[in-house]
Amino acid sequence: TQFLCQFSNISECLPIEGQDSFTLTIWNPTIQPIEHVVRVPVTQKYSIRNPTGAIIPADLIPISEPIKNIPGRTSTAQYELLFRTPLPALGFNTYYFEARTDVTMEKKSTTRVIHNEACTLQNQYLRVEFDAQGNLNKITNLDKNFSVSFSAQGFYWYAAFQGNNSRPEFQSSGAYLFRPFTPNPLPVSSSRN
């Protein structure tokens, strides 16, 4: 029997919940071969075998509380199993899942930011410099030894024109028309927090 996991975007796949074993087929509808990280919502720990039968590495991570509390989500899955898969162009791969009791789950780690520092990202073509507040300072093209400096940066929004669409001059701003009420942008926030 085949099932489609229609709600994988909210970490829900009811047909596989509680199953001791199942197969999962992943399809690539594009004309390019791709490598994809698959996220499978699960209620227990599994080992995964690829199409050749080899066990593949996977990470078992807890599903976040905001995802578990999405209205309409009925899944009891507490974890997602993540694994990387190469997919041929216009092709598929099938993976075989088997419940395991001897798989150890990593302890939840915590991240704590102590302080911000200026940083530079660089490859052979570009150098991008950020200040301690996370603002972009400068981009340098290393091939041409050309730099562009940035002095003011922020996130802004525009108040939308509230037209009634009765005539062209009363057309409101929306998905297909950017029509701000004033030409002055408003800051999203006055602080970085």
Contact 148, 139 (CB under 8 A): yes
Is this structure's pTM higher than 0.85?
no
Measure the CA–CA gap between 52 and 93, rounded to whole angstroms: 10
For 163-192, how does the pLDDT look when each residue is reduced to its tens digit (9 = 90+)?
877 877 777 777 777 888 888 998 887 765
CA-wise closest residue to 62 among 115, 1, 108: 108
- Per-residue model confidence (pLDDT) at position 80: 92
Mean pLDDT within 91-96: 91
Q: Alpha-carbon distance 58 to 81, whole Å?
A: 6
Q: Which candidate, 65, 18, 16, places its Cα nearest to that of 44?
A: 18
CATH of domain 8-99: 2.60.40.1180
Q: Is the dihedral of CA 42, 47, 52, 54 positive or negative?
A: positive
Q: Rounded to an integer, what distance in angstroms lies between the CA atom of residue 77 and that of residue 43?
A: 4
Each domain of the chain, given as residue ranges in start order, spans 8-99, 119-149, 154-193
Burial 151-164 (b: 16+ CB within 10 A, else e): eeeeeeeeeebebe
Q: Grade residue 123 by pLDDT with cuts at 50, 70 and 90.
A: very high
Task: Report whether 182 contacts 159 (CB < 8 A).
Answer: yes
Pick from 6-15, 20-29, 84-93: least confident = 6-15
Give the separation between CA 11 and CA 91, rounded to whole angstroms: 24
